[in-house]
Amino acid sequence: MFSFTFGIISAEAIAAVKQRGMLLAGTATTVDEAIALEESGVEVVIAEGSEAGGHRGSFLADFESSMIGTIALVPQIVDATRVPVVASGGVMDGRGIAAALALGATAVQMGTAFLTCEEAGVSDAYKVAIVRARDNDTRLTRAFSGRPARGIVNRFMREPRLSLAAARRFGRPIDQFATRCCPKSITQRGVRTWPGAQGGSKK
């Protein structure tokens, strides 16, 4: 499978993916985005609900108006398109999977649910933060990359002056600086954590 987000890839890229026999999936945060993806030739739509961790995949409207919960978004996209729909956002266990399938999803995409696994390779500080997170411990922020993303609340989110100062000093959002220049030290301290709204449900 070839999966993408943040918009629609070019017709040339779509043709190249299909020529190689790969299933093509795109991310939608609204019904309009799902329809646009289907019309472009996408074979699977990933319905990203507002509970999803990480960066928002919205591309046809501002992210505020695209903040639709997974339970509301999935059946609307299922009804509006003819391609398989994958539910994403806030799904942490069998109950969430069953709910998504009942709403018409063909499958689910789970991210946060696996971040505490050994194979994920994330820092111990990150894992502890995920397990301890409660239902109201995540927020949407632009502090790290300049693009809306959901993560566990930390000092960078609470004090905007820090992210602004970092951007001025390094000439780019702090997320890019941390990734390119010192990823290990940053993640060991748990500075950047992107779980979804169900982070604390991991058992």
Q: How far are the Cα atoms of 11, 62, 70, 113, 177 from residue 52, in angstroms, in the given order?
A: 28, 17, 8, 11, 24
Does residue 196 have a pLDDT over 90?
no
Is-above-0.75 flag for pTM? yes
pLDDT tens digits for range 149-189: 888 888 777 776 655 555 555 555 555 545 454 445 444 44
Percent above pLDDT 90 for the chain: 49
- The answer to whether 173 and 167 are in contact (CB under 8 A) is yes
Q: SS3 of 95, please?
A: helix
The average pLDDT across 131-144 equals 83
Q: What is the DSSP string of 113-127?
A: GGTTSGGG---HHHH
Q: Residue 67 has which token pair? A: 């903040």
Select from 68, 116, 117, 71 the least CA-distant residue to 98.
71
Cα 44 off chain centre by: 16
Tokens 């058992």, located at residue: 203
pLDDT at 139: 83
Q: Residue 69 has which token pair? A: 């919960």
The average pLDDT across 119-126 equals 86
pLDDT tens digits for range 71-119: 999 999 999 999 999 999 999 999 999 999 999 999 999 988 898 888 9
